Structure 1
Amino acid sequence: MDKKDWLSKVVALPNGLNLFLIKINFFPQLFLGKAYRNYRRKLKQQHYLSYDYTTSLINLVNNSIKKIPYYKTYAPINSLADFQQQIGFIDKEVVMANFNDFVDPEIDKTRYVEGTTGGTSGKPLRLLIPKNRHVFELATMHTMWETTGWKYHPRAVIRNHKLKPGEIYRINPITKEFIFDGFRISFDYFESIYQTLKKFNISFIHAYPSTAYEFALFLREKKKDISFINTFLSGSENIYEYQTDLIEKQLGIRFYNWYGHSEKLILGGYCKDTQVYHLENTYGFAELIDENNQIISEVGKRGELVGTTLKNPGMPLIRYRTDDFAEYIGNYCPHCKRNVLLVKNIVGRWSGERIYNKDGSFVTTTALNLHSDLYKKINGIQYIQNKKGILKILIIKTAEYSAEDEKTLKEHFLKTLNKDIILIIEYVDHLIKQNNGKFLHLISKVK
């Protein structure tokens, strides 16, 4: 039986039985396998040391040049300088157009699974991924989470699961997860979630950032006791200032975020002391490039994230442009004493963050950030654009929101956008989520 099917059957067992099993699961890492445990030990030895990724990178590239059709025109490399001077960039379109040329013709395909990217920006990308990918991915993720104090604690999960009507939660006793319905976003259901967290003393909440924000709104509005809540563990969406302001500054709950993507080339999470991402060089090799394809070394400059696999010899993507952008901070963390690429303000799906004026010029959603005083008077904001020059703004307003605030909002947008843009403000109870439960700050059909 496939491991995923086996876990599904376990989760389907009665909650009473799974609650008993979760209470006696003192060593969940045992269920993740020997390879996972060995790699976790290896990461702990390297985590705060200066890991030298160059040997792994050079070996991966040279092995690919020998075996992978797409790379056979390249000469072998001997250094990182050779790598950055000789190896060109690829992107989603290149891989889609040459899928077979990126696959090692001699691999044992029974050791790989075929997956796809999410396809949020068009046609999904096909990928061949090693079946043992969980060894590296989970081990790296768990090592990052430990910086928050998490050590295999039970977690609440409010992401992309859909439960039966009337079902409050399910339990996965193997991974020690209390799984909630990520599509049932209401204060009534949040009350049920909160009572479950309180009853079982669950202090870590694994959620999309948008869901973490909405649950945090509930906690604030209902004046709940949050003394037992340690951290929101969040990823897979862009982070916005108003979310951080509410969760960390107003409620005092840690808001730990990480960055990763379906291609599984780059993975990184917040530093234990700051909101700067450490891009883990044991997982993959990350670069940040400017519009001229040059490596960025200027603090504060934004560029595109480029990833190279270190763990997928069967379909190695080398110098793959992610279409995700970030701000360069450095290559050394003074807090953790680690040599890793440091970035902040990661924005995914950059083209999808553009709001267009009628003449074709555009601004990004980041440029439309509101003053913190306005964020305190709304419980959510979302932009919808189906045509250049017309922007619909969905707002969940609080009781303190007034006609004067609407006037201030319009003035703010017209200062940034062209004067001839048509603004439509619509007040709603809920913002729009995608079928997978994710939230997009901007839903755009403009090409």
Structure 2
Amino acid sequence: MLQIFLKSDGCIPLLLKASFKVKDFKDNDHGIFWEKDYVSNTIHFSPLHLNSSTISKYVQKLNELKPLFFHVYPSNLLFLIDNMMEQNLKLKYQLRTIFLVSEGYTNKDIERIKTFFNCEVTSFYGHSERILFLESISQDVDIYQIDKRYGFFELVDDNKHQIVENNISGTIVGTTFDNYAMPLIRYETDDITQYLDYKIGTTSMIDSLRNQVYLEGKNHINISVTNFTLSHFTNKIHTWQLYQDQPGKVDILIVPKKDFTHEDKEKILSYMNTLIGDILECDLKLLNHPLLTPRGKMSKINKKISKI
């Protein structure tokens, strides 16, 4: 479904795409903050090393390769714009389309992105677990169409009652149609929207508890929570969270499984230090149970930084 959506905006496999995602960039010590993925024909840029000192290298590489499409978290893109404006840098070619993914945004964000890059901006809503899929259908990227072939979409209120009226905010609940290995039935997300037209299945912009939440790194570098995952350690841990009470430092909170060892702890720390060690000082703490919000939900990011 995602590939159909991308192709509808002219993004075909033969055309180079740029993304900004966290991964192990082996040459970042040598000032190379990107890596080519030949399978997907994508150039991946590191959002963690993007700052006022490195922005010129990013823009130089973009101008060299001229990817026509950006596949990017809104927070990372806005940070890119901030740094480009600060250094008075511009792309020397015309972008075709920017695809915003995994985070919420505002109308002002869309206006700012369109003004700066002078290109089409679109978005979609979906899950790696293949639960639901919605695509933006308006120029202002503020109206979404539910794809009823992909999954069963519901909105529920705080009492878990189904919403079938327009203009009433509720939590998105989804049921898988095609994931036979691990189907999710009435999975309640942390995402909020409202029907604009219940009968035809259109909604307003989708907000989220994940909406542009940042960790504060060294030298005033902000890192979006959507850049992090410890999914490949799930055989050793029950849950993981990040806790920050001062800029430049973060605690990794782990609820371990019974066979979790000191070696596993060192592997996780090594992995996180590879990703963000030059931006955030990491420590790992073991818990008996995760930190919960007042509503009883588990937030991946917990911040207690005082604003002066």
Classify the TM-score, shorter chain.
0.5 to 0.7
Amino acid at match of 2:64: K
Aligned counterparts of 1:444 and 1:169: Cα–Cα separation in 2: 29
Q: Following superposition of structure 1 onto structure 2, how do residues 284-363 of structure 1 map, counting pairs within 5 Å?
A: 284-331=151-198, 339=200, 341-349=201-209
Question: Aligned residue for 1:154?
Answer: 16
Displacement of 1:242 after TM fit? 4.0
Shift of 1:443: 5.3
Q: Provide TM-score, normalisation by structure 1.
A: 0.45
**For 1:240, which of 106, 112, 129 is the aligned residue?**
106
Letter in 1 for 2:16: P
Secondary structure, aligned partner of 1:187: coil
168, 188, 199: which one pairs with 2:64? 199
Contact kept, 8 Å, 2:21 with 2:47, in 1: the verdict is: yes
Larger radius of gyration: 1
Assess if the C-alpha contact under 8 Å between 1:155 and 1:205 holds in 2: yes
State how far apart, in whole Å, the 2-side matches of 1:182 and 1:307 are: 30
Contact 1:204 1:230 in 2 (8 A): yes
Equivalent residue, structure 1, for 2:42: 177
Q: What one-letter code is carried by the residue in structure 2 that aligns with 1:436?
A: N
Unaligned runs of 5+ in 2: 230-243, 245-299
Q: CA deviation at 1:213?
A: 0.9
Q: Pick the structure with more strand per residue.
A: 2
2:75 equivalent among 210, 215, 238: 210
Tell me, in whole angstroms, the C-alpha distance in 1 between the residues paired with 2:303 and 2:67.
40
Q: Which has the higher contact order (CA 8 A, sep 6+)?
A: 1
After TM superposition, give the deviation of residue 190 of structure 1 in Å.
2.7
Tell me how large the CA RMSD over aligned residues is.
3.3
Question: How far did 1:315 drift?
Answer: 3.0
Q: Distance in 1 between matches of 2:182 and 2:207?
A: 26
Partner residue, 1:47: none
Equivalent residue number for residue 143 of structure 1 = 4
How far did residue 194 of structure 1 move? 1.9
- Change in Cα spacing, 1:445 to 1:382, as seen in structure 2 (3 Å) is closer
Native 8 Å contact 1:161 1:180 kept in 2: no
- The 1:172–1:314 alpha-carbon spacing in structure 2 relative to 1, beyond 3 Å, is closer
> CA separation in 2, counterparts of 1:220 and 1:431?
17
Is 2:146 aligned against 1:279? yes
- 1:178 to 1:383, Cα distance in 2 relative to 1, 3 A: closer
Contact residue 132 and residue 175 of structure 2 kept, 8 A: yes
Counterpart CA distance in 2 for 1:445 and 1:218 is 25
Check conservation: 2:59, 2:91, Cα contact below 8 A. no
Structure 2: distance between partners of 1:301 and 1:435: 27
Task: Tell me how far apart the structure 1 counterparts of residues 8 and 52 of structure 2 sit (CA, whole Å).
Answer: 31
Secondary structure of the residue aligned to 2:194 is strand
1:159 touches 1:206 (CA, 8 Å); kept in 2? no
Distance change >3 Å, CA 262–CA 169, structure 1 → 2: closer
| Distance in 2 between residues matched to 1:285 and 1:175, nearest whole Å | 29
For residue 342 of structure 1, what is the amino acid of its counterpart?
T
Match of 1:231 in 2: 97
* Aligned pairs, number: 230
**How far is the alpha carbon of 1:232 from its aligned partner?**
2.1
Q: In structure 1, how many angstroms separate the alpha carbons of the residues matched to 2:2 and 2:118?
A: 23
1:189 aligned residue:
54
Please report how far the alpha carbon of residue 216 of structure 1 lies from its aligned counterpart in structure 2 after TM superposition.
2.0
In the alignment, the residues of structure 2 paired with residue 281 and residue 274 of structure 1 have an alpha-carbon distance, to the nearest angstrom, of 23
Structure 1 unaligned regions, length at least 5: 1-139, 333-338, 354-380, 385-393, 395-427
